[in-house]
Amino acid sequence: MPSQNSASLAELYTLRDLLRYAISRFHSANLSFGHGSDNAWDEAVYLLLHTLGLPLDTLEPFLDARVLPEERERFLYIVERRCVERLPAAYLTGEAWLQGHRFLVDERVIVPRSPISELLEESLQPWVEGPVMRALDLCTGSGCLAILTAYAFPDAQVDAVDLSADALDVARSNIALHGMEDHVHALQSDLFDALPAKEQYDLIICNPPYVNQNSMDALPREYLHEPDMALAGGADGMDLVRRILRDAPSRMAAGALLVLEIGHEYEHFTAAFPHLEPIWLDTATTEMNILLLTKEQLES
């Protein structure tokens, strides 16, 4: 519940008042951001507009509108949960947005934020040359990248694979939300293990657990609400990456590509795989976070 007395909070009359209060509260609570927004202003705006049922891209016309007492209380309750429980905003609203698409989320999956989504918005151009008919999203979590892959390559059948049955429940909800049941298929598997042995893919997308142990030990509280198995990558962050690079070639069609996210683990990656020379796919928000490898590179 709100930390100040009710009489003081009752003086917050407008959206502008509530927004100012929320930003001050976020700063005083020393929150960490990074689950869809990277600053207190953007997160406060999102939570306010969502809570009041207003368009998420339209703030200015409503700033000086007065709120009803029950609207104020509802928003202040969300603000206080964000500060006290240190819950990521997406877990408070039950949704996350990626490249303009809405995805359902809860604490069974990490909050969608992969910069691979930026590359899929451009259909992985100019690197994808031939048609993509079969695609695989390993470690799919909420299914967001599998669904964005289906949007990017409308003729493709996309397998969305995860070891977690809970995550796949969320993924199936998102597949249904986007009407992708005929294009995206949620499958439980430990990486490639349960997939048909002869299955060949033109494109493999993967945002695996890659956070090294030292970084895991230092994570802000917000990240501790996310499933540990979706983040932790072992001592150097490369535990699953080693398996993926070992087994991927046998599942890749001729000319196929692997797009792999490793976050801030560039040094650990190059130490683990000194002879690989991937193409690094920078985005508007990241550098040296995503790499591209061909089937031929992996086989050699």
User: Coil, strand or helix: which one is 269?
Assistant: helix
Domain range for 124 is 95-299
Q: What CATH number did the domain enclosing 142 receive?
A: 3.40.50.150
Domain boundary among 62, 93, 124: 93
Assess whether 110 and 54 both reside in one domain: no
Q: Phi/psi zone of residue 191: left (φ > 0), alpha (ψ -120 to 50 degrees), beta?
A: left
Domain boundary among 78, 93, 108: 93
Q: Is 236 found in the same domain as 105?
A: yes
Which of 55, 75, 93 finishes a domain?
93
Gyration radius from the chain CA atoms: 21
Q: How far is CA 48 from CA 14, 42, 78, 96, in A?
A: 11, 10, 9, 15
Which has the closest alpha carbon to 233: 217, 214, 261, 209? Answer: 209
Task: Report the C-alpha gap between 101 and 267 in whole angstroms.
Answer: 33
Split the chain (300 residues) into runs of 10 and give each run's mean pLDDT: 65 96 97 94 98 96 96 97 97 97 98 97 94 97 98 98 98 98 98 93 98 97 97 98 97 97 97 96 94 95
Q: What is the pLDDT of residue 9?
A: 87
Residue 180 shares a structural domain with residue 115? yes
Q: Domain count of the chain?
A: 2
Q: Is residue 246 part of a domain?
A: yes
Amino acid 203: pLDDT: 98
- Say if residue 131 is in the same domain as residue 268: yes
Identify whether residues 50 and 106 lie together within a single domain: no
Residue pair 271/236 in contact by the 8 Å Cβ criterion: yes
Task: Note the pLDDT of residue 300.
Answer: 83
Helix axes 165-177, 144-152, angle to 10 degrees: 40
CA-closest candidate to residue 138, choices 286, 12, 10, 259: 259
In a domain, 227, yes or no: yes
Q: Are residues 242 and 137 in the same domain?
A: yes
Tokens 């796949």 belong to 168
95-98 and 101-104 beta bridge pairing: antiparallel
Are 62 and 123 in the same domain? Answer: no
Q: What is the pLDDT of residue 286?
A: 93
